[in-house]
Amino acid sequence: MNISSNRGSGTEASHPDAWPHSPAAPLNMNHYANKKSAAESMLDVALLLANASQLKAVLEQGPSFSFYGPIIALISISLCMQVTVGVLLIFIVRWNLNDVQKHWRLNILENVATCLVFLIVVVNVLITAFGVHRPNHSD
């Protein structure tokens, strides 16, 4: 199919949110937002599991580990913020983006979630900087 053959024929989608090659089908913002939030949730779960594994490694090393207290505190903060972001994403997905009255509330929740994700990244950089090493079991 020649794309230029349809130019000027009036058959192209005139809606600004329409996907190319779709007959005037507008982009469903709720569907897009749900997919985006689901992807964020999956990444949040992956980081949650990594932090749980780091916490286990530090607890196995015990208080003799040089940064035991700070690492435990940082991992705990990261885990709490991740759970908070997960709950926020659930609320964000549940609300209808097409309802104009809820736009300000969704915008605030999105901004809070974004700030928390940034803080989670900073905390996890600090966790990595202090180093979490698995104990060597030489049996």
User: So where are the chain's domains?
Assistant: 28-130
Q: What share of the chain is helix, strand, coil (3-state, %, to 5)?
A: 70, 0, 30
Q: Judge whether 61 and 68 are in contact, CB under 8 Å.
A: yes
Q: Judge whether 13 and 26 are in contact, CB under 8 Å.
A: no
pLDDT of residue 129: 87
Ranges of residues in the chain with a pLDDT under 70 are: 1-34, 37, 41, 133-139
- Alpha-carbon dihedral angle through residues 54, 118, 86, 45, given to the nearest 10 degrees: -40
pLDDT of residue 102: 77
